[in-house]
Structure 1
Amino acid sequence: MGVPSRFGDVRGVEREPRGRRADRRFQFPPRPARDSDRTLARRVSGESVVLAAVVSRIAITRGVSATINDCELTHATRTPIDVALAREQHAAYESALASRGCEIRRIPADDRYPDAVFIEDTAIVLDELAVITRPGAESRRGERDAVAVALAEYRTLVRIEAPATIDGGDVLQLDDVLYVGRTPRTNGEGITQLRELLAPYGYRVVAVNVDGCLHLKSAVTRVGVDALLMNRRWVSPSNFDGLRIIDVDHVEPSAANGLRIGNRVIFSEEFPRTLRKLEAAGIDVIAVPAGELAKAEGGVTCCSLLFRLT
């Protein structure tokens, strides 16, 4: 099957009351009444966000900063990023999320934080609570304030504290087990704190060695009930016994990042060889344009915080 260029019709604490809000620099507009018979639209910061007709999940995203060319880079060579194109591709990504039943809640871009579009790194959202991380790059720690405001509407918040560091991109949840990559962005204290915070909720935290890439989810992501997409050069499959491994194509080492929502996987069309391998393995793929954000070492999981309504 050829690579599609478009998709769908698009170009430990006690829980506080859910509605409680702390001091906030901004607020999302009031929610419209939900309507399962028609498509909803919301205007956030002057931008219209198309929502799926039936909402089962929240996707918190953040706009692309005008300063994204000043992003942190660890492994990639700095290449000019077309900001307008990056924003267009990000909008297409949001539409793909909406097509999978996600209600999009977009935090405005903040040019003080070039990497802020990669919102995944600032929080780990579970059914019972949300963990506000402490990103390994100091330049990114200010991103957390607006994210905490947005998440406080839905979850009780706990925080990773110094000297711990942890990026959300290093956390791969497989049911009640959270695999956490040891990387330059996530240290041992971060893994220990996360384990202590989540133990009362029955989650198990397993540390995983990662080598050669930015995050654990640069090397492996879940693409099926029992299937992982992986670059074996960056992480060992021995960490994931009993699961089926789909290998990235050898000429596309950065292709291991896919975002599974329900029975479909959002995946970058920049990796056509690996996309075909996914399809051959029976994975239903939604291909999205993501080339500009990839220049900032971002993948499709990086650009949203996804969680179920509870």
Structure 2
Amino acid sequence: MAGLSSFGKYTHAIVCCIPDSLGTRPAKDGASEGQPEPVDLAKAHRQYGVYTGILRQKLGLQVIELAADEGLPHSVLVEDITVIQGDTALITRPWEPARRGEISSIKKVLEELKMRVVEVTDDGATLDGSDVLFTGREFFVGISRWTNHRGAEMVADTFRDFAVSTIPVPGSCHLKSFCSMAGPDTIAIGSSEAAKKAIRTMEQLTDHHYDTLTVPDDPAGNCVYVRLGPKGSALLHRSPEEFPSSQQPFQKLPDLTLIPVACSEVAKLGGTLSSCSLLINKKLDR
């Protein structure tokens, strides 16, 4: 399959710099009881620097940084905005209307990279990139507070070469709040009831067998798998300082270079490791 042959191969990453307003923004779900835990802004900047350094130096990617937007704290969660597979980018319909400016910036970069850009224009569709899991073979789309069935249909309409299945996601979570790909045929999954139910549904809906890597903490189920060419593959995963009990399962992946990364501060806004960048495989012009 074309998707599988290029799965995990990337040349570029789009990220957004941390705005100072990140430290004053309430939790993304907007429905948390009591006061949300405040963001440590200095720590957020440090974590961003480490993350982008890993993308450049350890993964060898060309990193494109969008300027910080003080009026748009959630702009750091760039995965919300776009679903990318191959040379096609589907611009989603984010939950904050104010993010249209961010969409324009990301769209401009994608067009400069000569990507095929498609936009969700159906007013009845809602779609968040953090609800879309591409396995290299097919798409799973979480039906959540952020994404509806019409949004999932837009994924199917855009990426017609791949099967698209929908997975119910309860509460204010995204599908990728507790799962991700930890290799071409391995799904990392958390241990909550929602995560267990989601993986059972995936297994029922797919014709392919995926291995599962179960971690005790749901947020640790969100990883970033990257192929490094002849040098092998790497897996970015949440750090032992954040989730010590979830480190041992990753040792079952001896063929991968394991790279622990902390993102505790953007996580306070509902962010994950994968939501902090858009990864692109830009084929060189012939």
Q: Give the aligned CA root-mean-square deviation in angstroms.
A: 1.9
Deviations 1:213-249 (A, max 9, x none): 5211112101122211112522322233311111121
Matched, 1:63 2:17: yes
Q: Is contact 1:58–1:309 with CA below 8 Å preserved after alignment?
A: yes
Distance 1:196 1:65 in 2: 35
Q: Is contact 1:182–1:207 with CA below 8 Å preserved after alignment?
A: yes
Distance 1:139 1:234 in 2: 30
Q: 1:156 to 1:281 in 2, by over 3 A?
A: closer
Question: Match of 1:57, as an amino acid?
Answer: T
Aligned partner of 1:150 in structure 2 is 109
More deviation in 266-275 or 66-75? 66-75
Question: Match of 1:128, as an amino acid?
Answer: D
What is the DSSP-based 3-state SS (H/G/I as helix, E as strand, rest coil) of the residue aligned with 2:275? Answer: coil
Q: Is contact 2:236–2:260 with CA below 8 Å preserved after alignment?
A: yes
Corresponding residue to 2:248 among 250, 253, 276: 276
**Rg comparison, structure with higher value:** 1
Distance 1:206 1:81 in 2: 35
Q: Is contact 2:14–2:278 with CA below 8 Å preserved after alignment?
A: yes
Question: Match of 1:267, as an amino acid?
Answer: H
Question: Match of 1:273, as an amino acid?
Answer: S
TM-score normalised by L of structure 2:
0.82
Corresponding residue to 1:299 among 264, 272, 281: 272
TM-score normalised by L of structure 1:
0.76
Distance 1:275 1:138 in 2: 38
What is the DSSP-based 3-state SS (H/G/I as helix, E as strand, rest coil) of the residue aligned with 1:152? Answer: helix
Aligned partner of 1:110 in structure 2 is 69
- Shift >4 Å, 4+ stretches: none
- CA apart distance, 1:284: 3.5
Q: Is contact 1:113–1:142 with CA below 8 Å preserved after alignment?
A: no
Matched, 1:247 2:214: yes
Distance 2:234 2:172 in 1: 25
Matched, 1:187 2:148: yes
Deviations 1:39-65 (A, max 9, x none): xxxxxxxxxxxxxxxx95100101112
Aligned partner of 1:260 in structure 2 is 225
Distance 2:149 2:184 in 1: 29
Q: Give 5+ residue unaligned stretches, structure 2.
A: 1-8, 204-208, 228-232
Q: 1:187 to 1:141 in 2, by over 3 A?
A: farther
Question: Match of 2:95, as an amino acid?
Answer: G
Q: Is contact 2:179–2:218 with CA below 8 Å preserved after alignment?
A: no
Q: 1:246 to 1:212 in 2, by over 3 A?
A: farther
Aligned length: 252
Q: Is contact 1:71–1:114 with CA below 8 Å preserved after alignment?
A: no
Aligned partner of 2:28 in structure 1 is 73
Distance 1:260 1:281 in 2: 12
What is the DSSP-based 3-state SS (H/G/I as helix, E as strand, rest coil) of the residue aligned with 2:218? Answer: coil
Distance 1:193 1:227 in 2: 26
Distance 2:106 2:68 in 1: 12
Question: Match of 2:223, as an amino acid?
Answer: G
Q: Is contact 2:131–2:142 with CA below 8 Å preserved after alignment?
A: yes
Q: Is contact 1:136–1:185 with CA below 8 Å preserved after alignment?
A: yes
Distance 1:285 1:64 in 2: 25
Q: 1:284 to 1:131 in 2, by over 3 A?
A: same
